Structure 1
């Protein structure tokens, strides 16, 4: 009994227990992640991966490497997932027309089937976020309270870059946060889970899938309502409004001065 008691009180016993707990926790997390990724990738066939690899080699490997490992011209794509491909290629940002501080949105170069194949190949390189399902994007059953909560989440996490009206805004060194008006629900969700360019990643531990859906509901509802208060003036707030008033007022003063001068003659 004494020997067992001494063993339990050994100074390395607590350290060993901590190591064992970390190993078990990490193993459980890795197993759960691989299970989820396996489910997400099960919809992609081997032919999709093969076709995607050919498209990748012809259009993406110059910058990202033949195995997606990355080069000096482009980052590694291992672990970015199909969601990143669907966002970047589906919005036309990739392939880039030219090197610059930020990839610009433009008409996509590939059709939906080709984008799916590219996503399947990149997803095969390493586990990452998958393309959201219709259920994750369906906000039709959201209540007004849910939409209001989505607005609060947006203002807390996104408005400092994208503007409170989601009209976008300037960042540093030629970069900018793009407008979210006219952006599809799928691309908004994918941007949140992948963090493209200057945007941070909002994982499910930061924002749950339900909270992401509420943000989308807020953005789409705001977009549908338009601008009931009149002209948007770029939705830049008091700066653009003040500039407009100053310019218009100054024009009126100049016109009135010219009129008075002409009357004196």
Structure 2
């Protein structure tokens, strides 16, 4: 082995593992650089009131949104008017990947985002410039340091009938559904409450104050991060469905086992 290494050094040939090591280092460096660039763009600060930001948003809108919403965002037969929709609505719809729509359906599907956070904010600034509407929430309401107990009570009163008491989501009518809320960004939860996307009602500050919304966000983060004490959660779909699961699956297994034991004894 030592003689082989010595011969490689004498001939100037590289070890066959050197190429693999070089490729691995290159991939690690490239991945780290890409992650750094992505993180920078995701946290980019944008002056929503700057004319340059609005102009850039207008260009993005004309290229990607005007087909359905019209060149002046006044709406067409394919999409509603966005005048007065506000920055929060645009940040929610575009930031969750629902817009631009992949296809017409009962409601927009969550999918990978088409735009960076900076571009999303530029689009939101452009829509906000068309007329007054709900604005993007302040960071202090998104920190998750509200009252989870009060938030849970507010959630059960206002939201659980559609989203389930644990935020697991649920079916609605005509092929629509209330999406699960686990892992959703706090800003998007707040914006959904203040804008009422699709089938959701609008909870203005007169209905739920900004602090109420912050409490609900804290509650959702709490149940998202707290493991199920009782064991397997079965998707947190509720006691009726979980009880039905036990009756059908549990009793089915017992009956099958009984039949098998009887057959073996015979």
Give the Cα separation in 2 of the matches to 1:43 and 1:60.
Answer: 19
- In structure 2, the residue matched to 1:204 is 205
CA RMSD of aligned residues (A): 1.4
Q: Does 1:215 align with 2:216?
A: yes
How far the C-alpha of 1:202 sits from its partner, in A, is: 0.5
With over 3 angstroms needed to count, the CA separation of the structure-2 counterparts of 1:154 and 1:187, relative to structure 1, is same
Q: 1:37-57: CA deviations, max 9, x gaps?
A: xxxx97431111111111111
Give the Cα separation in 1 of the matches to 2:130 and 2:154.
Answer: 33
Residue pair 1:69, 1:76 contacting (<8 A) in 2 also? yes
- In structure 1, the residue matched to 2:8 is none
Q: Does 1:73 align with 2:78?
A: yes
Q: Which structure 2 residue ranges, 5 or more long, are not aligned? A: 1-45
> Secondary structure of 1:66's partner?
coil
- In structure 1, the residue matched to 2:56 is 51
How far the C-alpha of 1:223 sits from its partner, in A, is: 1.0
Q: State which drifts further: 43-52 or 115-124.
A: 43-52
Task: Give the TM-score of the pair, scaled to structure 2.
Answer: 0.80
How far the C-alpha of 1:250 sits from its partner, in A, is: 0.8
Q: Which structure 1 residue ranges, 5 or more long, are not aligned? A: 1-40
Give the Cα separation in 2 of the matches to 1:116 and 1:71.
Answer: 24
Task: Give the TM-score of the pair, scaled to structure 1.
Answer: 0.80
How far the C-alpha of 1:169 sits from its partner, in A, is: 0.7
Match of 1:249 among 247, 251, 254: 251
- In structure 1, the residue matched to 2:21 is none
Q: 1:111-168: CA deviations, max 9, x gaps?
A: 011001100111111111111121122232x3xxx22111111100101111011100
